[in-house]
Amino acid sequence: MTADLFTLHPTALLALSGMAAGTYLTRISGFLLLGHLRPQGRLGAALDALPGAVLIALVAPQVAAGGVLMWVASAVTIVAARRLPTLLAIVAGVATLLLLRWVVA
Amino acid sequence: MTMRELPPAGRRADFFDGVIAVLPLLVAAAPFGLLVGALGVQKGMSPAEITLMSLTTFAGASQFVAVEMWTQPVPVLGLAIAVFVVNLRHVLMSAAIAPQVRRFGLLRALTGLFFLTDESWALALRRANAGHLSLAYYLGLCAPLYGTWSVSTAIGAVVGGVVDDPARFGFDFVFVAIMLCLAGGFWQGKRSVLPWLVSGAAAILAHEWLPGVWYVIIGALAGSLVGALQPGAARQGRPLDAQEALS
């Protein structure tokens, strides 16, 4: 086990390089495409709406599929996030979910 | 275009502001790092290989996909394409943050963007909306995330199976909770209602009908499009432009 701790297979290295290159490309291309623009008007509004839209799109399917317990926990998180520091809001949301799961189980 | 240089003391303060802002999110990143490390080894990767993946790709969701696809012989091209597609949302994210990072200078911007994640991006934009995003603050966000992610991957790979089932401890919801908290920072009242509803609905539908993670791109684009097309959008000034004009 200890012997292969540091194994770096050539094919694995090739695969890791491809993954790293592809990921870096996604991280710079938006900047390279739009970096010289000064977004105004509708393009500015689109970029303005983008952060919230990305974050909501990331979680919406999981929340929708998570059932009533997760909907309640999500609502608790959102309400808590408006009043508490982020860490406490996260703790409040997760604690709510665990408590509900424990009660239901 | 002049880069606003902070005095060293201001840079240090900004860096630590960033570290403090990102601290709560490290608690959530670590278990997933442990898990991706443990899963990678289970799939036949060496601890060095899976840790190198965390150091070079540094993108959680796509690494779980890659580990899932990791077979012998290693599907080199398939992995690159799958990871690229999972990370396509970064294109939108780096476009949204372009006006801020370009003030770092080209080389620093291109280096800094290597460390762009959902978390550092959201917190960086929040900082920009609240006033001014400095390179020091951005690095303060990225460095702890990068360190936590790679170290926890290595520990997970060596120790193995520390976190068998994240759902058991509610960690499946931690990511959702973090994203909801981050989203809260971008709530702009009435003009966020429609884009958010459309984004969520489009993501849920796309998740239902399309393979993979296209739902993120489709939901994000749909919400963003509605933001651009809704009444008043054309006149809506960007607070960031005002900030830029002042500096």
Domain ranges of chain A: 2-104
Q: Which region holds residue B6: left if phi is over 0, alpha if psi is between -120 and 50, else beta?
A: beta
> Tokens at residue B198, please?
């459309």
Determine which of A16, A74, A97 to mutate to test the interface with B (most B C-beta atoms within 10 Å): A16
Of A61, A63, A58, nearest to A75 by C-alpha is A63
For residues A61 and B203, the answer to whether their CB atoms sit within 8 Å is: yes
pLDDT at B246 over 70: no
Distance CA A49, CA B123 (A): 15
> Tokens at residue A9, please?
């297979």
Using the Cβ of B95 and the Cβ atoms of chain A, whether some distance falls under 8 Å is answered with yes
| Digitized pLDDT (tens) for each residue of chain A, 105 residues in all | 444 888 899 999 999 999 999 999 999 999 999 877 777 788 888 888 888 898 899 899 999 999 999 999 999 998 898 888 888 898 899 999 999 999 988
Q: Does the N-terminal peptide bond of residue A51 adopt cis geometry, omega within 30 degrees of 0?
A: no
pLDDT at B240 over 80: no
Distance of CA A66 to the CA centre of its chain: 16
Give the type of residue at B102.
R
Neighbours of B231 (CB within 10 A): 8
Distance CA B76, CA B58 (A): 18
Chain A hits for B73, Cβ within 8 Å = 11
Q: Which residues make Cβ contacts (< 8 Å) with residue A12, sequence separation at least 6?
A: B45, B46, B49, B74
Between chains, do B92 and A30 touch, taking CB under 8 Å as contact?
A: yes
Distance CA B97, CA B56 (A): 22
For chain A, the maximum distance between any two Cα atoms, rounded to a whole number of angstroms, is 60
> Tokens at residue A70, please?
């997760």
> What's the pLDDT tens digit per position in B13-47?
999 999 999 998 998 889 889 989 988 998 889 99
